[in-house]
Structures are given as structure tokens and as C-alpha cells.
Structure 1
Amino acid sequence: MISPKRLIELPMKWQRMASAKRRRILYPRSLVADKGHFVVYTTDEKRFMVPLEYLSQNVFIELLRISEEEFGLPTHGAITLPCDSTLLKYVILLVRGHMPAELEKALLTSIATCHHLASSSLTQGQGHQQTLILGY
């Protein structure tokens, strides 16, 4: 049989354990990047440490521009790029291997087209929802 005093202590112990786990989950890594790198996250919440020299590549410039349009400029925390981790791994692989100009143009075109299609379908969907609400 458990004593009443022990029963009172158990919930407090569980609360301490839960808060410790929450802190660990919220802050699993340092937000500081290694020297010569910057940290970005993808839409599927994967973390990437990218060399600063990649900022001069047109693909990263376009991804950062679209990120600013979609998510705004972050005041606290890291930048989220508007792509999933698979695409960003592919882009990093291409940039590291010095991608040809034709491939860079094709990649930029596909990124811009996908972003344009996604943003236009969202605005059309919002307009349709507004019409339904106003018509109701």
C-alpha cells in the first residue's frame, strides 16, 4: 500500500519529468551555426547548416526571396525555406557539384512555377471561401 504522502509526491514528480522533457524537445540543438555557415529549416522541419558561400547562388537567392514572401522575415529563430528536405538536399548536392547554367535555369524555373501555382491556388481558394461565406 502506498502512503498518502507518497501519493501526493508522485504527481509533482511527474510534472517535473514532463517539464524537463518539454524543454529537451523544444531546444534539441543550439540555434547557433558553425563558423562560415547559416541554419535554415525546410517545411518538413528538417534543419540544414549551409555554407555562407552558397548565398551567392541564384537558387538560394530565389528560395530566400520566396521564403520572405511566404513566411516573412523571422525576428527570432531560423529561416524556413519553402521546400521540403528532399529538394534542399538535391539543391545542395547540385551547388556543391557546380551545376551547369542550363540546369540552374531549369531549377529556378520549376521553383518559381511551383511557387506561383501554389500561391495562385491559395488565393483562388480563399476567394471561393469568401464567396460562400458572403452568399450564406
Structure 2
Amino acid sequence: MISSKKLVALARKWKTMAGIGRRTIAIPSINPKLAKAGHFVVYSLDEGRFVVPLAYLRTNVFKELFRLSEEEFGLPRDGPITLPCDAAVLEYVISMVQRHDSDMLEKALLVLLGSQQCYSTIASQELC
């Protein structure tokens, strides 16, 4: 049987031998382009990236955003889904859905999105 002192010395030797010729240890990383389970990724016109729960697909606001996106850009084949609004509008929409705001506010937002005047503050240089 080997003593603990010899085992520790042997382990240190193996560690230094394994480290010779290596500069770093490769650590597998998670692909940042993938969404967590139960979520999907959408982009805004100004290339903001949003990870949204799948449950939001049932809301009228997201249904309307996807309809407008299909009208504007067509159906995406290999690329990401881009919604026809800037990041500030999309952040507001997501926060509204998270808070379960009243139907009246949702209807007002649908009218605003449906009017097609609020696609992007970058493109029009005006606030909606």
C-alpha cells in the first residue's frame, strides 16, 4: 500500500506533467444564442435581444407583433425573428405582459402597434 505522502507527491507530479505544454484548460461554455427551455428569442429593430417565455405567445400583443413582423419582413427561414419595434417598445410590452396589466391598456397598445407609427424611434427619429 502507498503512503499518503507519496500519493500527494505523485499527484503533484502528475499535475505539473499534465500542465506542461498547456496554457489554458478549455471549459465548455453554453451557447449564448440558445434560449433556456420554455423560452424563445426575438430581436428588435435596433438589434436588441430578448429571451421571452413561451407563455407570452398566447397574448394578443405578441400575436399582433408577430403578424406585423410577418407583414414587414416575411417569415424567417434560417435567421432570427425580428419584431418591428425598437428595444424600448419591446421592453415596455414585455413588462406589461409580466404585470398582467388590464385589458384596456393592452387594447391601447395594440392600437398603437397597429397604427404602424411606432416601428422604431431610430428609423423615424420621433417618439411614439
What TM-score bracket applies, with the shorter chain setting the length?
A: 0.5 to 0.7
Q: Distance in 1 between matches of 2:102 and 2:90?
A: 17
Equivalent residue in structure 2 for 1:91, among 90, 93, 98: 93
User: Where in structure 2 are there 5+ consecutive unaligned residues?
Assistant: 1-30, 121-128
Q: Distance in 1 between matches of 2:119 and 2:44?
A: 19
Aligned pairs for 1:26-105 (under 5 A) are 30-105=32-107
Residue deviations 1:23-59 (CA, integer Å, cap 9, x gap): xxxxxx6332110000000000010000000000000
If the length of structure 2 is used for normalisation, what is the TM-score? 0.66
Q: Give the match's secondary structure for 1:63.
A: helix
User: Where in structure 1 are there 5+ consecutive unaligned residues?
Assistant: 1-28, 119-136
The structure where helix makes up a greater share of residues is 1
> Once the 2 structures are TM-superposed, how far is the Cα of residue 99 of structure 1 from its aligned partner?
1.2
- Would the aligned equivalents of 2:40 and 2:53 in 1 still touch at CA under 8 Å? yes
Is 2:123 the counterpart of 1:110?
no
| Residues paired across the two proteins, number | 90
- Give the alignment's Cα RMSD to 1 decimal: 2.0
Change (3 A) 1:39 1:117: closer
Change (3 A) 1:40 1:107: same
- Would the aligned equivalents of 2:69 and 2:83 in 1 still touch at CA under 8 Å? yes
Structure label with greater radius of gyration = 2
The runs of 4+ residues in structure 1 deviating greater than 4 Å are: 115-118
Change (3 A) 1:117 1:47: closer
If the length of structure 1 is used for normalisation, what is the TM-score? 0.62
Instruction: Name which structure has the greater RCO, CA cutoff 8 Å, separation 6+.
Output: 2
